[in-house]
Amino acid sequence: MIRMKNVYYMLAYAYQTLNETGFSSVKSEDFENVHDLMAAILIRGVSNQIKRGLHRDFVGQTETLGNLRGKIDMTDSVKHQTFLIRRMVCHYDLFSENTLLNQILKTTMQLLIRCGDVKPENRKALRRFFLSFENVSTLDAFHINWSALNYHGNNATYKLLVNICWLVIKGLLMTTENGQYKMAQYLDEQQMHRLYEKFVLGYFKREYPQYSARAAYIDWNVDDGILDFLPAMKSDIMLTNGSRTLIIDTKYYGHTMQMNTLYNSTTIISGNLYQIFTYVKNMDCCGTGNVSGMLLYAKTDEDITPDNDYMIGGNRISVKTLDLGAEWSEIQAQLESIAAMIAI
């Protein structure tokens, strides 16, 4: 079971904005569930955003008017015979706060108030924001066009808040048999995997600036230059320190081991091991042995938790387990030991 405090730290490293002063009070609070944690983060973040001013943009409007505004839609005007009543269908842009970013914020706050197991004081705080969002409409949570989001200098402060909204809606929201919304008690496996990956990368970026920490593509070490139909190889995390490189592939599963029924044995998931081995061997195309690989699993309730190092073909391949239910200091200690593997 992941401690709520650890979920906060994971979010803080995954989305560096949480380290700003405005969010520092969240760190000291105790949360019984993930809904309340997400609500607390949104309360601080939305409060800060309202003080800065809600993002506004030109939003397309369509209206039947007696005076010309913007462009006339001749087709719709003729279709609906609006000219008979001396009116016309017009398309125009309105500079408004009713943007997709604000709609996502309002929709998520509404869901947390109605569906989440949120403390009364946090529900009250979220409701107070609705006055500032009076002219913002809500969305169908299951049909938000996340790919339409675009960040730039004027709305960059929304990135953390919208990522929190994404976790709430994608990871916590479910429907009941009668079509009503309800909130899951925990983020689902897919969303936790995304957060886990971003957390580990964010941790090494912040705590080890002397290393190059990034999610990088790896080139295939082909002999004849033909790359047709070969899939892209993108690492979750690549740590580089001088001539040494550690490629980390994060894994967040309900089960970290596989059962071999034929031999009645438990083994590391073969596909994961093949994947990290392929990354390492193609990265270390000259056979220097300076490239290592690691599968970093999040700990489950299984009896066997892998903690092994192998030397395979001159390269070290490690399989480790990170216990997200441990004290934060223990998690830090293990991440530090991982970074030490490529210390010079």
pLDDT given at position 67:
87
pLDDT given at position 184:
67
- The residue-averaged pLDDT of 298-310 equals 86
Is the per-residue pLDDT at 179 higher than 60?
Answer: no
pLDDT given at position 321:
94
| CB-CB contact of 267 with 231 (8 Å) | no
CA dihedral angle for residue 279, residue 283, residue 289, residue 290, rounded to 10 degrees: -110
- The residue-averaged pLDDT of 294-321 equals 91
Question: Identity (one letter) of the amino acid at 307?
Answer: D
User: 188-241, pLDDT tens digit by residue?
Assistant: 777 888 899 999 999 999 999 999 999 999 999 999 989 999 999 999 999 999
- Residues ≥6 apart with Cβ < 8 Å to 34: 4, 7, 172, 185, 186, 187
The stretches of the chain forming alpha helices (DSSP H) are 4-14, 24-27, 34-52, 74-79, 100-114, 120-128, 158-166, 189-207, 270-283, 328-339
- The residue-averaged pLDDT of 259-286 equals 90
Tokens 């309202």, residue located:
50
pLDDT given at position 116:
64
Residues of the chain with pLDDT > 90: what percent? 51
- The residue-averaged pLDDT of 171-193 equals 67
For every residue of 134-182, DSSP letters joined together read: TT-----GGG--GGG----TTTTTHHHHHHHHHIIIIIIEEE-TTS-EE
- Burial environment of residue 20 by CB neighbours within 10 A (0 to 12, 13 to 18, 19 or more): middle
pLDDT given at position 178:
56
Is the per-residue pLDDT at 332 higher than 70?
Answer: yes
> In the chain, what are the domain boundaries?
4-56+98-187, 58-88, 210-342
User: 43-69, pLDDT tens digit by residue?
Assistant: 999 999 999 999 998 888 788 888 888
pLDDT band at 95 (very low <50, low <70, confident <90, very high): confident
pLDDT given at position 185:
62
- The residue-averaged pLDDT of 115-126 equals 87
Question: Is 210-342 a CATH 3.40.50 domain?
Answer: no
pLDDT band at 84 (very low <50, low <70, confident <90, very high): confident
- Nearest Cα to 10, choosing from 215, 253, 210, 197? 197
Residues of the chain with pLDDT > 70: what percent? 93
Of residues 304 and 91, which shows the higher confidence score?
A: 91
Least trusted range by pLDDT, from 89-93, 129-133, 198-202, 226-230: 89-93
Measured on CA atoms in the order 199, 202, 208, 212, is the torsion positive or negative? positive
pLDDT given at position 182:
63
pLDDT band at 248 (very low <50, low <70, confident <90, very high): very high
Q: Which two tokens stand for residue 67?
A: 């005076």
Distance CA(9)–CA(6), nearest Å, equals 5
- Nearest Cα to 107, choosing from 132, 84, 135, 140? 140
pLDDT given at position 91:
87
Question: Identity (one letter) of the amino acid at 166?
Answer: W
Is the per-residue pLDDT at 109 higher than 70?
Answer: yes
pLDDT band at 72 (very low <50, low <70, confident <90, very high): confident
pLDDT given at position 117:
80
Residue 331 main-chain phi, psi, to 5 deg: -65, -45
